[in-house]
């Protein structure tokens, strides 16, 4: 049986851990609000660039560009996986890895499956799993997000145009609400956007040739798409970490209550035993 001092040390240790989890919950909640504001603010630019690109590639224009059409075959499949650099965020990474592995298994018809990992945890997991990683990026939070997304988009476009990869998909977690997040799987390249039923010439006037416009718009569209996915993933990550720390804090409360009850019962037993020994000794002296 544990001694009273051991139980007291255990209670103090749990209380110290609880202070840490409570502080981490507050930090994650603050970051969650910040990322959520950025996520909502980025919507205007995303909708505009999507609108311009959609208008440009409507059927009446008939643009022919490799970023829009691809090679017509999927010999080499590329998958961009967006995870986290840090842990202590519940099942955030584990769920992503499971979904990604399921999709990788579905790509057996491809000659090769190449991965691009974003986040240290993602890179470590798939490197140990033996998958071919084309390139990887870490330290997401320490880099300017727009420039970071643009760099990744440029590399993806280069590998797509030179034939290294015939199709790029991106898998990540996506923020749903203040209490839940979900799974996201989208095709990056070749680019496909919803086409409008009728082109409106009054909205956009193209003064340059369409090929030049498409060559400019598509990388911008991909860069913005990656930016949104990373921002969604970071928002979901902070939500998952906040919930995980909240659960840990509540579990610490329950553990402290159980240990305190055990301490009091053990202390009462010790006191009762000592009183019995005193009484027994007094009786023996009579």
**Model confidence over 37-64: pLDDT tens digits?**
888 888 878 888 887 777 777 644 555 6
pTM flag (> 0.85): no
Fold held by 25-244 = Pyruvate Kinase; Chain: A, domain 1 (3.40.1380)
Peptide bond into 37 cis (omega under 30): no
Give the pLDDT band (50/70/90) at residue 195: low
Q: What CA–CA distances, in Å, run from 1 to 7, 198, 237, 266, 270?
A: 10, 79, 41, 9, 12
Residue 277 reports pLDDT greater than 50:
yes
Least confident of 13-27, 247-261, 269-283: 269-283
Give the model's pLDDT for residue 6.
86
Phi and psi torsions of 120, nearest 5°: -65, -40
Query: What confidence score (pLDDT) does residue 274 get?
Result: 73
Which residues are within 8 A (CB) of 75 and not within 5 positions of it... i.e. 6 or more apart? 110, 111, 112, 166
**What is d(CA 247, CA 150) in angstroms, rounded to the nearest whole number?**
37
Give pLDDT, residue 203.
Answer: 59
pLDDT at position 282, please?
67
Q: How many Å apart are CA 164 and CA 182, to the nearest integer?
A: 30
The three-state secondary structure class of 107 is coil
pLDDT for 207 beyond 70? no
């Amino acid at each position: 049986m544990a001694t009273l001092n051991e139980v007291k040390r255990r209670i103090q240790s749990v209380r110290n851990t609880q202070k840490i989890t409570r502080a981490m919950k507050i930090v994650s909640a603050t970051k969650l609000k910040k990322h959520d504001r950025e996520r909502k603010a980025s919507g205007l630019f995303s909708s505009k660039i999507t609108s311009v690109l959609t208008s440009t590639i409507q059927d009446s224009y008939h643009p022919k560009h490799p970023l829009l059409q691809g090679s017509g075959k999927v010999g080499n499949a590329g998958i961009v996986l967006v995870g986290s650099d840090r842990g202590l965020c519940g099942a955030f990474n584990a769920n992503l890895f499971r979904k990604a592995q399921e999709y990788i298994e579905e790509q057996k018809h491809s000659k090769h499956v190449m991965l691009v990992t974003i986040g240290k945890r993602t890179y470590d997991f798939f490197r140990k799993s033996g998958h071919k990683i084309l390139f990887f990026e870490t330290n997401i939070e320490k880099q300017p997000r727009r420039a970071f997304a643009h760099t990744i988009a440029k590399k993806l476009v280069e590998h797509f145009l030179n034939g290294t990869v015939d199709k790029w998909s991106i898998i990540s977690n996506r923020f749903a609400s203040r209490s839940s997040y979900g799974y996201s799987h989208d095709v990056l390249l070749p680019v496909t956007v919803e086409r409008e039923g009728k082109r409106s010439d009054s909205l956009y006037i193209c003064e340059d040739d369409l090929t030049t416009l498409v060559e400019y718009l598509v990388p911008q569209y991909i860069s913005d798409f990656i930016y949104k996915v990373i921002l969604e993933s970071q928002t979901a990550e902070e939500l998952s970490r906040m919930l995980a720390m909240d659960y840990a804090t509540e579990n610490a409360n329950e553990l402290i209550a159980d240990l305190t009850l055990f301490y009091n019962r053990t202390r009462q037993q010790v006191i009762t035993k000592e009183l019995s020994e005193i009484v027994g000794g007094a009786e023996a002296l009579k």
